Amino acid sequence: MGTFMAMALAAAGVACGRPAPAPKECAPALEGGRGALESLVNAAQVLDPNRHAVHLAHVCSLTLNSTTYPVVDLQELVKSATTARGVNSILIFGPDRKLRRRLEYTTERPLLCAGAKLYVWGDLSIEGIQGEGNELEVSDDGRGVSLRHVDPNDLPL
């Protein structure tokens, strides 16, 4: 399978296993399924009351020092906008299920995790961090992020 097709399947959630067996980079589902995911974001108070949550997905889990950090993709639509406008966020939670980092993006959806690295579709810029990239290396208990560009052919698919 070509790299582009593998990336497209990963973005669609197909590579993480339904119906094919899941590669080791894919995270197990959060215990409790969809309800647990909704509880996670509600407890973190990340949902804006002036927006409609239209997409919520557990993408993968980062591993830092043998500890799991769930990564969630959240897409919201602004309720009062005359023209539909969305706000997209990558949410990184700690092992205690508390929000460690929120990263807003436009089109750079999260694809997969490999260890402490999160790969996104396209190059992402993060406020307060120099440069841009499609590989985010997470550190400092989920709060620190560094960016670098990785050729799509070199992604760990």
* pLDDT single digits (tens) 4-17: 334 433 444 434 43
Dist CA 83 CA 102 (whole Å): 25
| Tokens matching residue 106 | 């436009």
Dist CA 31 CA 56 (whole Å): 16
Task: Report the predicted TM-score, pTM, of the whole model to 2 decimal places.
Answer: 0.78
Which residue has 């550190």 as its token pair? 139
**What are 101-131's pLDDT values in tens digits?**
999 999 999 999 999 999 999 999 988 888 8
